[in-house]
A and B are shown apart, each in its own frame.
Chain A
Amino acid sequence: MIRARINQIDVEVAEGTSILAAARGVQVKIPTLCKHKDLLPTAACGICIVRNKGGNKLIRACCTPLENGMEITTHDREIVDVRRSTLELILSNHPQACLTCGRNGECELQSLAADFNIPLESIKRYVKDVPRDCSTGSIIIDFQKCIKCGRCIQVCQEMQNVWALSFLDRGINTRMAPAGDITLAESPCVKCGQCSAHCPTGAIVENDETPLVWEALHDPNKICVVQIAPSVRVTVGESFGLPPGTNLTKKLYAALRRLGFAAVFDTNFSADLTIVEEASEFIERFVHQRGQLPLITSCCPSWTDFMEKRHYDFIDNFSTAKSPQQMLGVLAKTYYAQKLGLDPAKIFVVSIMPCTAKKYELSRTEEMYASGFKDVDVALTTRELARMLKQSGIDFLNLADGAPDSMLGDYTGAGTIFGATGGVMEAALRTAYFYATGKKLAKVEVEAVRGLDGVKEGTIDIAGTPVRVAVAHGLANVEQVLDRVRAARKAGTDTPYHFIEVMACPGGCIGGGGQPYGVDNERRKLRIAGLYADDRDCAIRCSHDNPEVIRVYDEFLGQPLGARAHELLHTRYTARPLYKR
């Protein structure tokens, strides 16, 4: 234990605790712009400086561990003056565009500037004119607004192992940009949006497509339908001041209907459908030994993009089942349209997703047009939805509960946990167990795959055979799992895993790149708890028991993995290596 004093308050913390964290423990707030709670300090901004008694230099609280006997002062005249000057310098290199910025009102720089009440133009503004990068259609980088804190780069390189972003150039010309000065679309970027989720300013934001949705909603010739992803229900409340994890499913149904959607569907329904297809695939491979093991989940578009670019030797292991977003889209324009006698050309499918990569997924391959039209027209992130609700004048929090439209709206607990890491695996195991044994799991909760550990492993007994599973989230954690499989392949030994779930974002979709700002592990836990609570409260907790899923097979799709299911609900993958070897 380390004993020291911060502002004359005695503190006792574990060895290695930073001064910043130690101060937080005794209710002393040291401001910082670059340090993110869950990330390693980059020591870039210079705002968190403090003084240790006897030291002639100011030290950075974010990256300096507290040591025995330190006497830290966090605020005195000189410290605050230097902080103010540094903040002024940062603002002198930042465009004055707060009112039109995607982060207006939610910006860490803006709120710090407000706290310090910086006088206008005390230092002459210098912002280099650099065009934005809109190349991906998912994420927009506004280089001018970047304060070079380095969070996005750390996230992209360390947390996600993607290495799309890096620092280029030096001095005042230092830029955060794709290495080699190419566009983001040409880079290894997988559109996960974790950079935007961790950015303190408006430098990286989602591509705001709300105008397209407003346009469609106001178009009398369009029939707008909408779907809500599993995780959105427990996060959207944060944009309205509610604690993370607050489940607003029913209010969302009501609000979306008020926004003018003709039908409100739930992606949880198609998540159940995905599970039925995926579990069937697993049984094919595991029980009937047709196809490669391990089976690897594919509902995360960033992960599929990453796999096609970096791990294409696993293409044959990928579940060909489409993601819930795409399954719902194609059914809305086929099954739903036929049942109601609607012209699918007029149907406009909007999905509310936690994710920036979903914007990319909806035109990923030609299979995404299986209905004959673009199956999903626009994918909005949770943040965009919140913005639309605020614009619309709907008193969201005080709305009476609503209900989804039938046919594509009913969901089970298995569908809802899709939004958390391990959820897809848990849901699939519930169904696979039933398919293999004809029996219901005694305990549907698979604890081994829950929680925030980067890689989770477990063994589930199905009809006397142990099924070895692994769950990885955060793309940097994928490599070790796949490398174990590769090693076994090379050695010719039995595969270490039969089933692998991968989610690109830490925590799964609840930590998605399109979720409300301010994500950290504490929030991730609360959001996940919200989903598990929803699962617990569901009457039906296995996807194959979803009555609407059963009906859609009966009336329209036929058998899981059947011809029609294959045509509409499955896709293909292509190796797209980044670098020629």
Chain B
Amino acid sequence: MKALTRQDLEAFARQPRAEPPEWIRVQLDTGGIAAGAELVHTALAAARDERHLAFSLLRAGSVGYSFADPVIEVQSAGMPRVHYGRVTPEVAAQVLDTHVVDHRLLDDHVIATRQRSTALALPVTHILVRDTGPDATSKTEFFQFSFTEELKRRGLAERVQVVRALDIGIYDEGAVVQLLPSAVTYANVLAPDVARIVAESIEGGRVVDDLLWKTPDKQVRIVLRHCGDVDPDSLEDYLQHADGYQALRRALFEFTPEQVIAEMKLAALRGRGGAGFPTWMKWQLTRAQPAPQRYVICNGDEGDPGAFMDRSVLESDPHAVLEGMMIAAYAMGSTKGYFYIRAEYPKAVERIDRAIQQAREAGLLGANILGSDFSFAAKVRLGAGAFVCGEETALIASIEGRRGSPSPRPPYPSVRGLWGMPTAINNVETLACVPAILTKGGAWFSSFGTETSKGTKVFAVTGKVRNAQLVEVPMGTTLREIIYEVCGGVLDGKDIKAVQTGGPSGGVIPVQHLNTPVSYETLQQLGSIMGSGGMLVMDKTDSMVEVAKFYLKFCVDESCGKCAPCRIGGYQLLQILDRISRGRGNADDVPLIRRICVAMQKASLCGLGQTAPNPVLSTLRYFNEEYQAFIEGGPSYARKMSRVASGAAAANAPAVAPARPLVAPLPTGNGGAI
């Protein structure tokens, strides 16, 4: 690509989006690939050639439906645009035959759109049906049959197809139907309603108001705005279909650096890595520090078990993160940036690397970008997968080639950071928000969220949840809404026991607090933290002592070993928990646990040690009786519990994601396709 000019970018902004009329987009993020998306892509390419079909085969990142990986999106002339989930190569071939050739939707794989409508703008061509009760299959088939029969009766069977959906985005609301292409959705549909719907909506083109599902989807996609839509390997796609680098252009030519910071202040964006430090202030502090060189670092060292937000964003929309970094650099007067990404994220590294290279070739990186005074260079540094390297000072040490252990603060990185220079370290998600804020304005961004926590937050919801997936909701959404309304509730319809947020630095939030609106402050009050956005759902069969042990073990493994409270405290705490879980604990153990926890919280050098006791303390706070049961019940009780747990584990997916996954912390419950 030739070097872009300011005028080229302005032309992109005016130009209407040109899309090929027929395409299939395969979501090739690590989760999708692990579930077989590459095979699907190959199968689609082969089948296309074999059948001489004309559609374009596109690549994209993930839209977030991890429960349905591999996911493809199909756009075919005269057909509603749909996502198909759980696509194997065989299913892919069926999609071609049914959807592309026969113009019919394929049963059991369609994921209904969340962009629901309340008006029937176009005549109905397809009816998606899905029973959202606990045992869905038989009733879904019943409704499909009823609708089909009713359509036949009225002679509409040729015009309208009834399709069983894989997921319809509404849960525990009886039978749900969605009328395509307008996406009018009816919930709690009973058998007598079938005739009404066909008569009123399909024949009459009127909405059946008493059945209409009016609740808008809880999700607001700001960070994930292009994820699953743009080709992460293509700068052109980003420029043409995602307003690519328009925010940078605005920043460079319409804003002074101070104005960018002011806009960020208006947006009130806080660090999405977990601590929630105001981003504008971080930039301001770095900018205010006189220095010959300032650095901006993108922290992509996401390491919490069960968290995959940053990976997904890096893999699905790398240019947005790069653009965010460049705007940050412009605002704080920096000319060099580093992406610190863990080596366990090879796809993310590859795509960011490619994005940097493409941007460089297009003149979006380098000297005097787009003819402005702003020059910027970006590089990728690989982390070796040490969790502690997500801590700012350890991350800097790691980039500098030193042992990745934290150093005391002050001095803060904004004063003395990388190579001794002022440095701002921003999380992937934070940077991904930046172009959207510059495009739509800080006031728009801060219209979402609560008083203290503005905007949206991406969560990776995993564990015993029906639909493990990435969720982006405005701050202030309750945990219950996220789990039940967005993710479909607990797996197998069991009762929820608690939600773990914030990964190993967070805590468990029991069922009685599920109505808490999510914000930095509220979660902290409950003894947990926002963290980077891992959210693990646990049902009644999960032992809280085991949960505490699991997270603590993670921190014990990941402790850098520098300071005594964390190094020894964590280990000793784990020994005591282990003893208790084997029924060998005694009455003195709980006070001792508390004492060690306090020492770790108060005397550890960095956040890892200070927060490592949180899972232990929060389980003690809400589930003390489980600890007491182990202590009083002794070894026989412990054996009984472990039999229950292993029985449950055999029946269900594992309770928690593996501590050190080889590829990435895949969500559970994706059909064992790994």
* Contact, CB under 8 Å: A85 / B561: no
Interface string of A160-200 (1 = CB under 8 A from B): 00000011011111100000000000000000000000000
| Min CB gap B603→A, angstroms | 4
- Contacting residue for A148 out of B562, B572, B599, CB 8 A: B562
Report if A113 contacts B (CB, 8 A).
no
Closest residue of chain A to B560, judged by CB? Answer: A170
Please tell me the number of chain A residues within 8 Å of chain B, measured between CB atoms: 39
* Contact, CB under 8 Å: B596 / A85: yes
* Contact, CB under 8 Å: B559 / A86: no
Closest residue of chain B to A167, judged by CB? Answer: B403
Asked whether A49 and B603 contact (CB < 8 A) given A81-B598, A93-B568, A171-B571, the answer is: yes
* Contact, CB under 8 Å: A167 / B561: yes
Closest residue of chain A to B574, judged by CB? Answer: A172
* Beta-carbon contacts under 8 Å, B551-565 to A: 556-565
* Contact, CB under 8 Å: B562 / A63: no
* Contact, CB under 8 Å: B605 / A46: yes
* Contact, CB under 8 Å: B603 / A46: yes
- Contacting residue for B605 out of A43, A93, A173, CB 8 A: A43
* Contact, CB under 8 Å: A126 / B575: yes
Closest residue of chain A to B588, judged by CB? Answer: A122
Q: In the assembled complex, which residues on chain B have CB atoms less than 8 Å from the CB atom of A139?
A: none
Interface string of A195-207 (1 = CB under 8 A from B): 0000000000000
Asked whether A41 and B408 contact (CB < 8 A) given A89-B565, A92-B572, A150-B562, the answer is: yes
Interface string of B604-646 (1 = CB under 8 A from A): 1100001000000000000000000000000000000000000
Closest residue of chain B to A79, judged by CB? Answer: B602
Asked whether A172 and B603 contact (CB < 8 A) given A64-B408, A85-B595, the answer is: no
Q: In the assembled complex, which residues on chain A have CB atoms less than 8 Å from the CB atom of B155?
A: none
| Min CB gap B355→A, angstroms | 32
Report if A123 contacts B (CB, 8 A).
yes
Assembled-state Cα–Cα distance A172/B598 (Å)? 19
* Beta-carbon contacts under 8 Å, A412-439 to B: none
* Contact, CB under 8 Å: B407 / A86: no
What range describes how many residues of B lie at the interface?
Answer: 20 to 34
Closest residue of chain B to A89, judged by CB? Answer: B568
Q: In the assembled complex, which residues on chain A have CB atoms less than 8 Å from the CB atom of B518?
A: none
Report if B410 contacts A (CB, 8 A).
yes
Assembled-state Cα–Cα distance A133/B400 (Å)? 31
- Contacting residue for B559 out of A83, A147, A170, CB 8 A: A170
Interface string of A33-50 (1 = CB under 8 A from B): 000000001111111010
Q: In the assembled complex, which residues on chain A have CB atoms less than 8 Å from the CB atom of B563?
A: 43-46
Asked whether A63 and B559 contact (CB < 8 A) given A45-B564, A167-B403, the answer is: no
* Contact, CB under 8 Å: B602 / A57: yes
Interface string of B383-406 (1 = CB under 8 A from A): 000101000000000000001010
Report if A90 contacts B (CB, 8 A).
yes
Report if B569 contacts A (CB, 8 A).
yes
| Min CB gap B240→A, angstroms | 46
Report if B101 contacts A (CB, 8 A).
no
Interface string of B576-601 (1 = CB under 8 A from A): 00000000000000001001101100
Closest residue of chain B to A65, judged by CB? Answer: B410
* Contact, CB under 8 Å: B408 / A170: no
- Contacting residue for A124 out of B410, B572, B599, B604, CB 8 A: B572
Closest residue of chain A to B568, judged by CB? Answer: A89
- Interface-centre pick from B403, B564, B572 (highest chain A CB count, 10 A): B564
Assembled-state Cα–Cα distance A126/B592 (Å)? 16
* Contact, CB under 8 Å: B556 / A172: yes
* Contact, CB under 8 Å: A46 / B561: no
* Contact, CB under 8 Å: A148 / B567: yes
- Interface-centre pick from A47, A65, A126, A172 (highest chain B CB count, 10 A): A172
Q: In the assembled complex, which residues on chain B have CB atoms less than 8 Å from the CB atom of A41?
A: 408
| Min CB gap B143→A, angstroms | 55
Assembled-state Cα–Cα distance A171/B552 (Å)? 12
What would be 23 A-B contacts, judged by CB atoms less than 8 Å apart? A44-B562, A44-B563, A44-B605, A57-B610, A58-B602, A58-B603, A81-B595, A82-B598, A82-B602, A86-B569, A89-B565, A89-B599, A90-B564, A92-B572, A126-B575, A167-B561, A170-B388, A171-B570, A172-B561, A173-B561, A174-B560, A174-B561, A174-B562
> Which 8 residue pairs spanning A and B have beta carbons closest together?
A174-B561, A46-B603, A85-B599, A63-B408, A172-B571, A89-B568, A171-B559, A43-B408
Give chain B's interface residues, CB within 8 Å of chain A: 386, 388, 403, 405, 407-408, 410, 556-565, 567-572, 575, 592, 595-596, 598-599, 602-605, 610
- Not counting A46-B564, A171-B567, a sample of 17 additional A-B residue pairs whose C-beta atoms are within 8 angstroms of each other reads A41-B408, A44-B562, A44-B564, A45-B564, A47-B603, A63-B408, A64-B408, A85-B596, A85-B603, A86-B564, A89-B564, A89-B569, A89-B599, A123-B596, A148-B562, A170-B388, A171-B558
